[in-house]
């Protein structure tokens, strides 16, 4: 049973599992992600305010929050893209500060938008990525060709990506993030720019990764998808964890509300109806 914390209705306390600040060393070794008392500041702005989180192997974790809540900052720290933080962070049993390259070899990362070296073709780009992970060239090319075919990019595999749509580029990013078969995958708004059919494919892919024992750290604003594909949901607001649990446990605490309504109740993004009303009042004169 996952630990559950509802910040707005329970007094501050520490929970075993995701919320505890004292974690056993053997538990750290087995966990896919361990974050202890994580603080991050950009100049005079405190972005993360003491995050504590533990993700078990094989979990699909939905990590959601309003813009500026600290989601992407958390992910970039976990994958070794951001340093200069306070606290302890371990990924796949490795300290991200001491062993950043070892961490990168164990994980996959799909950003909302990333540098694709658009002067390259998809095959050239995937060849570059695969060789960074020491994949054998022949097997790498075969896998890249098949993955591009599955995503409907077989005709574009040898074309420069400068003319690709956002959705086409996102498909290449997804392939690049998974081609080395990582044990832990970070997805930061992975559906950005995808059409409806591709979105369904990625949702099924996430479910398949979980069945295969992979751990997925999934950031998204699309509540309906998080609700369906994630077996645990963490809501972050203003740099701190507001709630942590299964969708069913979150829903029970909020008397059967949808995830969208729970999110609205817990974060600083409330007042949506009033905001929409005020907007309409202005444009209608």
CA–CA gap between residue 132 and residue 274 (Å, rounded)? 50
Mean pLDDT of 51-55: 96
On whether residue 101 sits in a domain, the answer given is: yes
Judge whether 160 lies within some domain.
yes
User: Is 280 part of any domain?
Assistant: no
pLDDT in tens, 232-271: 999 999 999 999 999 999 988 888 888 888 888 888 655 6
Higher pLDDT, 13 or 82: 82
Between 111 and 256, the higher pLDDT residue: 111
Give the per-residue pLDDT at 256. Answer: 81
Residue pointed to by tokens 């509300």: 257
Give pLDDT, residue 273.
Answer: 66
Say what the pLDDT of residue 15 is.
Answer: 29
What confidence score (pLDDT) does residue 225 get?
Answer: 84
pLDDT, the chain, mean: 85
Higher pLDDT, 37 or 115: 37
Give a yes or no: residue 284 inside a domain.
Answer: no
Query: pLDDT digit string (tens) for 24-33?
Result: 444 446 899 9
Range of the domain at 129: 5-273
Q: How far apart are CA 278 and CA 263, in angstroms?
A: 21
| Per-residue confidence band for 168, with pLDDT thresholds at 50, 70 and 90 | very high
pLDDT category at 109 given cuts 50, 70, 90 is: very high
CATH number at 197 reads: 3.40.50.300
Is 156:39 a contact under the CB 8 Å cutoff?
Answer: no
Domain count across the chain:
1
pLDDT given for residue 272 in this prediction: 62
Mean pLDDT on 49-57: 95
What's the pLDDT at 207?
85
282 lies in some domain: no
pLDDT score of 108? 96
Dist CA 15 CA 211 (whole Å): 27
How far apart CA 153 and CA 219 sit, in angstroms, is: 25
**Residue 271: per-residue pLDDT:** 61
Domain membership flag for residue 283: no
278 part of a folded domain: no
Do the domain assignments include residue 31? yes
pTM of the model: 0.84
Give per-residue pLDDT as tens, 120-164. 999 999 999 999 999 999 999 999 999 999 999 999 999 999 999
User: What are the DSSP calls for 205-274, one per residue?
Assistant: HHHHHHHTT-EEEEE-S-HHHHHHH-SEEEEEETTEEEEEE-HHHHHHHTTS--HHHHHHHHSTT--HHH
How far apart, in whole angstroms, are the C-alpha atoms of residue 17 and residue 22? 10
Quick one: which of 273, 181, 222 has its CA closest to 62? Answer: 222
- pLDDT recorded at residue 269: 53
């Amino acid at each position: 049973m996952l630990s559950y914390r509802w910040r707005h209705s329970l007094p501050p306390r520490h929970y075993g599992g995701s919320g505890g600040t004292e974690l056993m060393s053997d538990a750290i070794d087995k966990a896919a992600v361990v974050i202890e008392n994580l603080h991050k500041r950009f100049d005079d702005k405190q972005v993360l305010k003491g995050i504590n989180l533990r993700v078990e192997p094989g979990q699909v974790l939905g990590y959601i929050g309003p813009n500026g809540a600290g989601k992407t900052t958390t992910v970039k720290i976990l994958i070794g893209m951001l340093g200069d933080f306070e606290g302890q962070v371990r990924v796949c049993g490795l300290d991200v500060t001491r062993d950043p390259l070892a961490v990168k070899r164990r994980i996959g990362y799909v950003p909302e938008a990333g540098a694709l070296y658009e002067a390259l073709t998809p095959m050239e780009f995937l060849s570059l990525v695969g060789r960074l992970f020491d994949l054998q060239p022949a097997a790498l090319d075969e896998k890249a060709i098949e993955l591009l075919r599955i995503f409907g990019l077989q005709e574009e595999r040898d074309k420069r990506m400068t003319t690709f749509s956002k959705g086409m580029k996102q498909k290449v990013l997804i392939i690049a993030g998974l081609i080395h078969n990582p044990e832990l995958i970070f997805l930061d708004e992975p559906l950005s720019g995808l059409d409806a059919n591709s979105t369904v494919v990625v949702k099924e892919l996430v479910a398949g990764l979980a069945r295969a024992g992979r751990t997925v750290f999934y950031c998204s604003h699309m509540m309906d998808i998080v609700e369906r594909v994630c077996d645990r949901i963490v809501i972050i607001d203003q740099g701190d964890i507001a709630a942590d649990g299964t969708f069913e446990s979150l829903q029970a605490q909020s008397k059967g509300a949808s995830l969208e309504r729970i999110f609205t109740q817990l974060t600083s993004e409330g007042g949506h109806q009033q905001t929409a009303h005020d907007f309409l009042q202005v444009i209608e004169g």
